[in-house]
Amino acid sequence: MAKQREKFKVNKLKEKILGVERSPKLLVRLAVWFIVSLALSFIFFREFWASLGVMLSPSWIFGQHHAAPWGVLGLCAIWLWLKRKQIQSDMEVRQNLVFIPLGLALVIGAILMPPSQDFMVFQVLLASLGVFVILFSRGARIPSILLGIYGFAISFPLVIERFAELPYSTSAIKPLVWILSGLGYAFQSEAQWIHFTSYSGEPISVAVTAACAGPVTMGVFLAIFTLMMLDVPLPPKKAVWLFLFGAVGTWLQSVIRLVIVMLVGYHWGKEALWTAHSWTIYVVFPLWYLLFVYIYFRQVRRPPQIKGGQELKYIPVTES
């Protein structure tokens, strides 16, 4: 009896740490979801498992600018963990048969998606979400939102490069040349090309494509802003103005990054330019977004204060 009581206490402690209490039926369905999802991935997405090691390597993530999708996915995973109690509560709602066709459609859609290295992880997660929808119905609400945010973050740059290549790159090239000319540097633009002669006399020509103009960071900003609004929403008017401020700021940090890259190329040559092109994105954007996050949370409503600086834990009610 003493051992059983001790085991019971340990289990309760584990549940307290995890923040949820799982029923046996729920655990069984979770196990079924995991096994079926894993089986689907091995059967239909073998290329994902074959490429996973490469996709997780530093040379792939940082050397080829794939940090943004993993970063957004990591933030979605953290948000999923923070909302685990709410998700579990939704999972325990009685299963609705209406969701079965929807789940099957998601699984079939994931399987039939054209193979693409950019969407490989998304396909696996979409199929897994389809199984989750079938088994947990409304419990898939938050995971569906998060997968949609992740899908948007990886799709936005590709859509820009496909349908708005010239306008998006031009939106960065014109202010870039204007700033550099204002600083006294002789930079010239021709369509998407920037021409200049370095300090050492080396002629350098650089193509500024839409990808250089920052659609990846804009997609990341939009994704993270959505997560922040879901977790700590702002009043509508503040949200609109802060969103516009964030979008303009994200565009501006891309222009500033290009200015830094070009100045590095002017002073230290073409090789230094490409080094700066590869690594400045991991410095400028995080610094900008830390500033934005600080400003965002400054706008969140605080509880009213009472004398002595103590916060009210409730709204006082007075009799009329």
Share of the chain above pLDDT 90, in %: 64
> In this model, does residue 25 exceed pLDDT 60?
yes
CA angle 248, 297, 242 (to 5 degrees): 25
> Where in the chain does DSSP place strands (E)?
188-190, 193-197, 203-207
- Check: CB of residue 136 under 8 Å from CB of residue 29: yes
pLDDT in tens, 219-231: 999 999 999 998 8
Tell me the mean pLDDT in the region 290-305.
81
pLDDT in tens, 199-214: 999 999 999 998 888 9
pLDDT digits 0-9 by tens, 83-94: 989 988 888 877
Give the predicted TM-score (pTM) of the model.
Answer: 0.83
pLDDT score of 14: 47
Name the pLDDT band for 95 (thresholds 50, 70, 90): confident
Dihedral angle computed from the Cα positions of residues 208, 214, 216 and 217, in that order, rounded to the nearest 10 degrees: 160
45-72, pLDDT tens digit by residue? 999 999 999 898 888 888 666 889 999 9
Segment 249-257 shows an average pLDDT of 96
Phi and psi at 305, nearest 5°, equal -100, 150
pLDDT tens track for 122-156: 999 999 999 999 999 889 999 999 999 999 999 99
C-alpha 141/C-alpha 147 separation (Å) is: 10
Asked if residues 239 and 88 have their Cβ atoms less than 8 Å apart, the reply is: no
What is the bridge-based pairing of β-strands 203-207 and 188-190?
unpaired
Say whether pLDDT at 311 is over 70.
no
Q: What is the mean pLDDT of residues 250-278?
A: 94
Q: What percent of the chain has pLDDT over 70?
A: 86
